[in-house]
Amino acid sequence: MAPQHKRTRIRRLAVGAAAVAASAAVAAVPAAGVGVVRAADPGVPAPTPTAALAGPPPAPGPEKPPAAVPVPGKEVPAFGAFLSSDQRGVARMAQLSRWLGGAELRVGHTYLPGNRWSDIEGDIHFLEAWARWRNEKDDRMLVLNVPLQERNEEGVPDDEVRRLLRRGAAGEFDHHFRALAERLVRLKVPDTVLVLGWEMNGITYTHRCGPDPQSWKKYWNRIVTTMRSVPGQKFRFDFTPSRGRDAVPWTQCYPGDDTVDVIGMDAYDQPAGMSFDQQVKEPYGLQGHVDFAKAHGKPISYPEWGLFRNGDNPEYMRGMLAWFDEHKPLYNTLTDYCPHGVWQCGANPRSSRVYRSALFGRTDETAPAPTPTPTPTPTAPLPPAGCSPLDLGSWVEYWLGGKLCLRFDWWSRDD
C-alpha cells in the first residue's frame, strides 16, 4: 500500500545519507581503521557503572503501561438506595448493584408505616426480609425510619400534634418503642440505624416538631432511653431534618448529644431555581449541617436525597456525589422512585448517566499499589581498546546500527 511504499523510500534515502556521512568521516582520517560498534558485537566488554560510555545512550522505547488495578485510597462511603419498603426493595438491591457494575450496596433503607401503633412496633412481615439481607454480610447496614406517631400522614392539625407531643413527653407511648426494640433484637438486627421522626422541621408529618419543640425533644429523649434499655441492643439514633429552614429551624429541635448518634439531612433538589451552590450556602443548608455535626462531634448521613423541583438536573447530581466524597457521611441512600430517582425512574436520563458513571463498580476492596517493574535503560557498549568513537549524530548511527570507531593502532597489526 502507499504508506508502506513511502516508508521504504524514506529508509533508502536515509541509508544513502548515512553512507555519505561515513565516507566523509573516513576520508578525514585516511590512515585509520574503521569499525562499527554494536550491542551484539563479540569481544566488547560489558559496561560497568563507572565506565565511560562512547556516547549518549539511545532513547528508551515507549514504556508499557501497568495493568489496570483498583486505585488504593480511602474507604468508599457506604451507600444504597430506597427501592421499596417491602420485600421488593430487598430483591431490587441486587438488581441495582448489577446496573452499577457490581458496586457494593452496603446500606439497605426501609420505613415503618405510620398508620397504626402496631406498625410502629414493627409488627410487619417485611422486616424479616430486611433482617436476612442485613445478616448476609457483616459490613452491611440497615437503616429504618421510625414514625413517632400513628396517623403520621393524615394532616393532623397543630393543636392536636401539640397534645400528642406532650403525651409522648410524659411517657404515654414508651411501650410501643420498647416493643420495636425487642423485635429488632429478636430479628438479630440490634445495630440498626434508627431515623426517628425524620423531617421534623417541616409540616408534612404528625411527628413534626414545630407545634411544641420542647415537648418534641423530651419525647425523643424518652424514646431513645426506652429503646437503649432493651438488653442486646446496639442501635444508633439518627436525627434527620430536611435541608433548609422549612417551617422551623431544625436546630431548635435538636434533642442533645446524649441521645443522638448521627446527624442526618434529607436533601432533595428543591426549591425550583435554587442551584446546588445555593443549597450548600443557604441557612440550615448542607454546609450548616456539616458544621453543626462537627461542632457536636457526630458523623453525618443523608438518608434521603434525589432530584425534585428542578427536574433532570445533572449539576445537582454531580454536586451531591462530590459532596459525599468530600465529607464522608456514615451512609447515603438515594430515593429511587419518580421524580427523585435514576434507576427506577426513566424521567431523568442525564442525571442517571452521572450517577451510574460515578458509582459504577465501586467497592471497599482496594488492591495494593502496583510496584512498577523498572525499565532498564539501554546503554551503549564500550568501544574496543585503542578505538576512538566518532559522533555522527543519532539519526546516522541508527541506520548504521551503531557508532563508527576509528582505530589508531593499525600500524602495529601484523599484516
Task: Give the pLDDT confidence of 194-230 residue by residue, as tens digits.
Answer: 999 999 999 999 999 999 999 999 999 999 999 999 9
DSSP symbols for 272-324: TT--HHHHHHSTTSHHHHHHHHHHTT--EEEEEEE--TT-S-HHHHHHHHHHH
Distance from C-alpha of 115 to C-alpha of 236, rounded to nearest angstrom: 24
For residues 162 and 403, the model is more confident at: 162
* Nearest Cα to Cα of residue 192 among 131, 101, 271, 275: 131
Distance from C-alpha of 82 to C-alpha of 143, rounded to nearest angstrom: 10
* Nearest Cα to Cα of residue 123 among 176, 46, 193: 176
Q: What is the DSSP letter of 266?
A: B
Cα distances from 267 to residues 77, 244, 299, 333, in angstroms, run 17, 9, 16, 11
Report pLDDT digits (tens) over 71-118: 434 567 899 999 999 999 999 999 999 999 999 999 999 999 999 999
Distance from C-alpha of 87 to C-alpha of 110, rounded to nearest angstrom: 10
Residue 398 has pLDDT above 70, yes or no: no
> Which one is catalytic: 121, 150, 199, 397?
199
Sign of CA dihedral 86, 110, 113, 128: positive
Distance from C-alpha of 32 to C-alpha of 26, rounded to nearest angstrom: 8
Q: Note if 199 is an active site residue.
A: yes
The full length of the chain comes to: 415
Specify the amino acid at residue 143: V
Q: Note if 136 is an active site residue.
A: no
For residues 394 and 300, the model is more confident at: 300
Grid coordinates representing 97 are: 448493584
Q: How many angstroms separate the first and last alpha carbons of the chain?
A: 51
Per residue in 310-340, is it b (16+ CB within 10 Å) or e — as a string?
bebbbebbbbbbebbeebebbbbbbbbeebb
| C-beta of residue 320 within 8 angstroms of C-beta of residue 276 | yes
Stretch among 104-108, 334-338, 341-345, 384-388 having the lowest mean pLDDT: 384-388
Cα distances from 357 to residues 83, 102, 342, in angstroms, run 19, 12, 12
pTM of the model: 0.72
Cα distances from 146 to residues 181, 199, 250, in angstroms, run 11, 11, 18
Residue 188 has pLDDT above 90, yes or no: yes
Domains and CATH numbers, the chain: 79-359 (3.20.20.80), 380-415 (no CATH)
Q: What percent of the chain has pLDDT over 90?
A: 69
Q: What is the DSSP letter of 111?
A: E
| C-beta of residue 159 within 8 angstroms of C-beta of residue 208 | no
Distance from C-alpha of 110 to C-alpha of 113, rounded to nearest angstrom: 10
Residues 6 or more apart from 289 whose CB is under 8 A from it? 243, 263, 265, 300
Q: In the structure, what pLDDT confidence band is assigned to residue 363 with cuts at 50, 70 and 90?
A: confident
> Which one is catalytic: 172, 304, 326, 365?
304
| Average pLDDT of the segment spanning 255-282 | 98
In what helix (H) or strand (E) does residue 390 lie, and over which residues does it extend? strand 387-390
The three-class DSSP label of residue 81 is strand
Grid coordinates representing 402 are: 551503531
The three-class DSSP label of residue 388 is strand
